[in-house]
Structure 1
Amino acid sequence: MAVRFGGQFSPGAKEPEEASVPLRAAPGHLRHRLESRTAWITAAASPLLMTAFFQDPAGMAANFAGFGIIAAGMMLTREGLQAEAAYDARRVARRPAYPRKLFGGVLTGLGLAIGAAEPGALAGAGIIGLVGGALHWLSFGGDPMRDKGMSDTDAFQQDRIARIIAEAEAHLAAMQTAVQRTGDPAIEDEVARFAATARGLFGRLEDNPTELASARRYLGVWLLGARDATIKFADIFARTRDSASRGAWQALMGDLTTEFAARSARMIEGGRTDMSIEISVLRERLAREGLAAPSGGIDAAAVAPTTAQVEDQRAVTLDELLRTPADKVRQ
């Protein structure tokens, strides 16, 4: 069956309704700019396979082992780059569970050393391995080794939010998988717009964990209902192409997209309100100390010394200190 394709700049394309909401990338869609290098390095190690059949049994085993270890190191490096991309994409993030790029570099150097090992040149093979590990570090860098933006965040609350968002991402993935059965790009775009708006709310919740109580029904009840409704609609529409069901489902998705975007906007406004309160409190404290006016301007009269105060600040000499009160009266 022919499928009509379209995009953002195609005729009749709709403007994204969630453009004002900061988007959060879907899990698995984050790609590091250096990720393609791992495939090229694995391909560059292929001569170890091609020359293995021209070696003695020990050399063949060494070549196979060297290539396999290098390939495993590149797999770990690619996973480390993906974890780093996810880490960089978030304002609040935990460091990766273990340093994948570091272990990938160690395996790469070990694979090069084993592939280059010969009975009389073990020292040279070791040097090749060390150089390979150093070049790996220079090419891909190190792993994130500390948490980011979590100095004032409760670890238990952050883990709880991570679990809830993981469940919500599973609901979105089920919705996107279900609408693929319809074979209609417009329906898939509708779900993609809703998913982008929902992920914007996920990102706001990660930045402000205190909003979990008010946003939990969005990530739980509403998102679960949207998933169930989308799966049922996809089953019906794939068989009957019922326009009435499509209209009802599109109205539901439009309402949900609008509500999720509005909730993200309210969280942004709540953050601005909290900032305004902090500024007002600080201004009042400065005003009580006589350093600033309550409106935020600097009170020059409060901080500038008067003429009498300037005259009282005369230099005190040793003669002044030794002068008796009677001498001061006569003066």
Structure 2
Amino acid sequence: MAGPSSRPGLWPIDADPGRSADAIAFTHRLGGLMLVENDTDNDLPALELRGLRRVFGDKVAVDDIDLTVPVGSFFGMVGPNGAGKTTALSMAVGLLRPSAGQAFVQGIDVWSDPVEAKRRLGVLPDGLALPERLTGGELLTYWGRFRGIPSDVVAARTAELLRILELEEAEQLGTLVGEYSTGMRKKIGLATALLHTPKVLVLDEPYEAVDPVSARVLTRILRRFTATGGSVVISSHVMALVEQLCDHVAIVARGEVVAQGTLDEVRAGATLEDRFVALVGAPAVDDEELSWIGG
């Protein structure tokens, strides 16, 4: 298979991320599709949540969250299990209707103009349900055609995504998505999120159950994405991962944002884990409790 810069319809994942804006625009004019197209919306936040709230019965899952994700940032949302991260992100991308509040993608209201908002969004939701009786290639082909992408472009992007995400062998063997491991399902989910060249990626626990080698591949792709002007939002409760990857962070607890800003601002001279524990709190464990362990 020829390199991505030599074939029309592919975007240069392997290209130099240090290219100038003029060089990127020139590549696009030549017909090469990139991870992110240049646009004039750089003065708007990539993702903005205003007073977002969700109530289930008498339980407040998300309590008037305000959040701003700058353009070009690698943004991490961290919090304990049940903090409201998944619920907030589901409302932010149009998967769950909020009880109150608004969500904007590059200034587009997700709920009043969902079609335009979702053109700009690539989403890997928690517990992504995928067709079980298709191969990864068939899934991407159908996904691309549903999005109205020309068939030759879909074929080229599908081949490249399967190769780079190390799913090519499974495709050659005819492995169905229902037979994929959890890590493979994460990768094919990321491929569906990237296929239509979105400008903002929202990924819920993208590294969960992904082996270290595949995690490096994912990281490389996401860093290329932000290097070309895209914005990435990930949720996680693995502090070391977020600290390694992200330049902006929000800490969520009890349905509220308790801190947000650049990584250094949120850490405030400590580690992210220490700041997280200080803000969220940790249950006390008495020395006498569970004394039978190891006895």
Q: TM (normalized to structure 2)? A: 0.26
Larger Rg: 1
Whichever structure has more strand as a proportion of its residues is 2
Whichever structure has more helix as a proportion of its residues is 1
Q: TM (normalized to structure 1)? A: 0.24
| Higher relative contact order, chain-length normalized (CA < 8 Å, sep 6+) | 2
